[in-house]
Amino acid sequence: MAGKLYGVSVGPGDPELMTIKAKRQIESSDVIAYPAKSHGEDSTALNIVRKCTDISGKRTEEILFEMDPDPSVRESNYREAVSKIASLLDEGDVSMINLGDSTVFSTYMHVSLDISALGYETETIPGVTSFCNGASEAGIPLVIDNEGLAVVPMAMKNEHVYKALRDFDNIVVMKAFNSMRDLAAMMDELGIPRDSAVVVSNVGMADQYVGGFDPGRKYGYFTTVIIKKNGGMRA
Amino acid sequence: MAGKLYGVSVGPGDPELMTIKAKRQIESSDVIAYPAKSHGEDSTALNIVRKCTDISGKRTEEILFEMDPDPSVRESNYREAVSKIASLLDEGDVSMINLGDSTVFSTYMHVSLDISALGYETETIPGVTSFCNGASEAGIPLVIDNEGLAVVPMAMKNEHVYKALRDFDNIVVMKAFNSMRDLAAMMDELGIPRDSAVVVSNVGMADQYVGGFDPGRKYGYFTTVIIKKNGGMRA
C-alpha cells in the first residue's frame, strides 16, 4: 500500500499564515520534501514549517530544481525529482511543501500531475498567496465590487503585461525585481500614475518593504507590484 | 484607548483551511462581527469559525449588507455598518470575519478604509481564496511557469470577460452560476474547447461539485469556472 503525496502550501512567510490543515498534514506525514534551487541551500519553506510545527525526528528530503539556463539540466533535475518522490511514496506519506499557494507558480503542480499519472494518490492543500498577503500588508483591496484582477509574471512577454495594464482595473506584477524600469515605461505610456502602484517586497523577511513605486530603487528578489487604476489606496 | 479592527479571512469553507493566525486573532478579540445579507440569516463565515475555534461566551455582532437593488438601502446599510463597528471599537478589539480572503471581492475592504479614515487602527489577516481552493480540489495548477492569470466576475461587462478569455492562458470566472450560457457562447466564439474548463461549485458544502463544464446544468450560488487554454488538467 503506497503512501499519498500531499502538496502542502505553507503560505507567504509568516509561520502563523500556515493553515491548520497544513500543520496537521505535515505533522502526520512520514517524510517532508522541500524544493531547493541549489544543493544544501537553506530552505525558506522548511524554515517556516520549523517555526510552527513539531517535525523533530522526522525525515526531511531535499528536492533539487536548479534554475539552470540549460534546459537539459532542468529536465534531468525534474526526472530525478519525480523518481525520488515516487520511491519515497513507496515507504509512506510525503508532504511536499511549497511557499505561498501550491497551485500558483509552483513546480509542485508539474510533479503532482506526473506522480498522479504513475498511479499514486495526490492531494493539494491550498494556502495564502504572496499577493493576497501583499495587499493585506499594504491595507488595500486586491479586487473589489465588479472589477477584474490580472496576475502576470514580469518574465512574460511584455506584450502580455501591457495588455493586463491596459485592460484590467487591478494588476499584480510578480517577479518584477529587475524589471521596474520596463514596468514604469509601460505605465507612463498608458497614463497610469506612479502613485497607483504599491510595491511589496520580501514580506515577512528582515528587509521587508511595503511602499511606493520608485523604478530607480533596488528591490529584493521576491518583489510584487500591485497596481490599482481605480485607486482604493488607504488615505 | 480604542480597540483595533481585524479583517480576519476564514478561508473558503473547510474550517481547517483557516490560518493559525486567524484562529488566534478571533480567540483574542472582544467581539466577532460577521456580515449578513439578511437579518438573522445563518452565517457561513461564523459557522466555519465555530467549528475550529472556541468562541463560547464571546460577543457576536451581525453586520447587515443587504443585496437590495435600491442603492439607497445599500448605502444606508453601509453607513450603519461603519458606525456600528466604530462604536464596538470604542469598547475593544473587533474581528470582522470574511469568507475566502478579505482583500478579494469583500465588502470588508471598504469598511476598513473608512474605519481607518476615522482614526482607528486596522489590520487585515489574509486567507485562502475560493479559486486557489477550487484549483486544489480539481487537482490542477491555477497558473504555472510564465503564464498569466485573470480573475473576473461574470457580473463585469461581458466585454471584460471576453478580453480575459482572449488574452490570458488561465481565467477564473467568478459568480458564474446564472451566466453559464453566456460564458459558453464566448468560449465557442474564441474557439476555446469545453474540456479546457472545470467548474467548482459550493466547495466544502453538502452539494459540492467539481467537474466538467455543462452550460445546460444548474449550478450552486458559489460557482467558479477555471479555464485553462494550455491544458494542465489531470489525466
Here the CATH number for the domain that contains residue B14 is 3.40.1010.10
The residue of chain B with its CA nearest to that of A108 is B141
Query: Using a CB-CB distance cutoff of 8 angstroms, which residues of chain B are in contact with residue A162?
Result: none
Q: Are B169 and B148 in contact (CB under 8 A)?
A: yes
User: Would residue B183 count as lying in a domain?
Assistant: yes
The residue of chain B with its CA nearest to that of A142 is B103
Decide if B14 and A21 are in contact by the 8 Å CB cutoff.
yes
The residue of chain B with its CA nearest to that of A153 is B146
Q: Is A19 left (phi over 0), alpha (psi -120 to 50) or beta?
A: beta
Q: What is the pLDDT of residue B232?
A: 62
| Residue ranges for chain B with pLDDT beneath 50 | 234-235
Beta bridge partners of B4: none
Q: Which ipTM was obtained for this model? A: 0.94
Decide if B113 and A234 are in contact by the 8 Å CB cutoff.
yes
Compute the distance between CA of residue A216 and CA of residue A202 in angstroms, rounded to an integer.
18
Decide which of A57 and A171 is more confident.
Answer: A171
Decide if B109 and A141 are in contact by the 8 Å CB cutoff.
yes
* A38 and A121 assigned to the same domain: yes
The residue of chain A with its CA nearest to that of B111 is A141
The total domain count for chain B is 2
Q: What is the pLDDT of residue B205?
A: 75
The residue of chain A with its CA nearest to that of B126 is A133
* B117 and B24 assigned to the same domain: yes
Strand arrangement of the beta sheet that strand B5-9 belongs to? B59-64, B31-36, B94-98, B5-9, B122-125
User: Would residue B233 count as lying in a domain?
Assistant: no
Compute the distance between CA of residue A124 and CA of residue A127 in angstroms, rounded to an integer.
10
* A117 and A42 assigned to the same domain: yes
* A138 and A178 assigned to the same domain: yes
Q: How confident is the model at residue A158 (pLDDT cuts 50, 70, 90)?
A: confident
pLDDT of residue A53 exceeding 50, the answer is: yes
Domain of A194 in residue numbering reads as: 130-228
- Which helix (H) or strand (E) segment is A32 a member of? strand A31-36
Which three three-digit cell numbers place residue A218? Answer: 533596488
Compute the distance between CA of residue A41 and CA of residue A202 in angstroms, rounded to an integer.
18
Q: Are B174 and B224 in contact (CB under 8 A)?
A: yes
Q: Are A32 and A58 in contact (CB under 8 A)?
A: yes
* A142 and A222 assigned to the same domain: yes
Please give the average per-residue pLDDT across A111-134, as a whole number.
Answer: 96
Nearest to B174 by CA among B130, B142, B143: B130
pLDDT of residue A232 exceeding 80, the answer is: no
Nearest to B128 by CA among B5, B226, B20, B6: B20
Q: Which residue shows C-alpha cell 478579540?
A: B29
User: Would residue A235 count as lying in a domain?
Assistant: no
Compute the distance between CA of residue B116 and CA of residue B113 in angstroms, rounded to an integer.
5
CA distance A215 to chain B (A): 22
Decide if B106 and A144 are in contact by the 8 Å CB cutoff.
yes
Q: What is the pLDDT of residue B145?
A: 86
Task: Give the end of a domain, one of A75, A103, A125.
Answer: A125
CA distance B134 to chain A (A): 9
User: Would residue A76 count as lying in a domain?
Assistant: yes
Interface test with A, best of B151, B157, B179 (most A CBs within 10 A): B151
User: Would residue B196 count as lying in a domain?
Assistant: yes
CA torsion A41-A45-A47-A49 (nearest 10°) is: -150
pLDDT of residue A182 exceeding 90, the answer is: yes
User: Would residue B46 count as lying in a domain?
Assistant: yes
Burial B118-134 (b: 16+ CB within 10 A, else e): eebebebbbbbbbbbbb
User: Would residue A203 count as lying in a domain?
Assistant: yes
Please give the average per-residue pLDDT across A158-177, as a whole number.
Answer: 92
Per this entry, what is the length of chain A? 235
Decide if A17 and B126 are in contact by the 8 Å CB cutoff.
yes
CA distance B42 to chain A (A): 23
The residue of chain A with its CA nearest to that of B21 is A16
Residues A10-47: tens digit of each pLDDT: 999 999 999 999 999 999 999 999 999 999 999 999 99
Q: How confident is the model at residue A234 (pLDDT cuts 50, 70, 90)?
A: very low
Q: Which residue shows C-alpha cell 480597540?
A: B3
Interface test with B, best of A8, A9, A20, A78 (most B CBs within 10 A): A20
Instruction: Find the CB nearest B167 among A21, A127, A163.
Output: A163
Please give the average per-residue pLDDT across A215-224, as a whole number.
Answer: 88
Q: What is the pLDDT of residue A156?
A: 64
Q: Which residue shows C-alpha cell 517524510?
A: A31
Instruction: Find the CB nearest A109 among B52, B103, B144.
Output: B144
* B21 and B91 assigned to the same domain: yes
Pairing of strands B197-201, B223-228: antiparallel
pLDDT of residue A235 exceeding 50, the answer is: no
The residue of chain B with its CA nearest to that of A24 is B16
Nearest to B225 by CA among B190, B189, B193, B196: B196
Phi–psi pair at A145, nearest 5 degrees: 55, -125
Biggest CA–CA distance in chain B, Å, is: 60
Beta bridge partners of B73: none
Size of the A and B interface in Cβ pairs below 8 Å: 192
CB atoms near residue A116 (< 10 Å): 15
CA distance B161 to chain A (A): 9
Task: Give the end of a domain, one of B110, B125, B140.
Answer: B125
What CATH number corresponds to the domain at position B145? 3.30.950.10
Q: How confident is the model at residue A212 (pLDDT cuts 50, 70, 90)?
A: very high
Which three three-digit cell numbers place residue A9? Answer: 502550501
Q: Are B232 and B144 in contact (CB under 8 A)?
A: yes
Decide which of B78 and A231 is more confident.
Answer: B78
User: Would residue B234 count as lying in a domain?
Assistant: no
Residues B50-65: tens digit of each pLDDT: 999 999 889 999 999 9
* B136 and B121 assigned to the same domain: no
Burial class (CB in 10 A: 0-12, 13-18, 19+), A230: exposed
Decide if B152 and A155 are in contact by the 8 Å CB cutoff.
no
Query: Using a CB-CB distance cutoff of 8 angstroms, which residues of chain B are in contact with residue A142?
Result: 101, 103-104
- Which helix (H) or strand (E) segment is B189 a member of? helix B180-189
Compute the distance between CA of residue B40 and CA of residue A118 in angstroms, rounded to an integer.
50
* A14 and A99 assigned to the same domain: yes
* A77 and A172 assigned to the same domain: no
Query: Using a CB-CB distance cutoff of 8 angstroms, which residues of chain B are in contact with residue A127?
Result: 128, 132
* A120 and A158 assigned to the same domain: no
Q: What is the pLDDT of residue B234?
A: 45
Decide if B167 and A160 are in contact by the 8 Å CB cutoff.
yes
Q: Are A47 and A20 in contact (CB under 8 A)?
A: no
Q: What is the pLDDT of residue A208?
A: 86
Task: Give the end of a domain, one of B125, B141, B166.
Answer: B125
Euclidean distance between the first and final Cα of chain B, in Å?
A: 58
* B26 and B80 assigned to the same domain: yes
Which three three-digit cell numbers place residue B1? Answer: 484607548
Nearest to A155 by CA among B124, B167, B147: B147
* B161 and B120 assigned to the same domain: no
Residue by residue, DSSP assigns B40-109 as: TPPPHHHHHHHHHS--TT-EEEEEE----SSHHHHHHHHHHHHHHHHHHHTTS-EEEEESB-TTBS-HHH
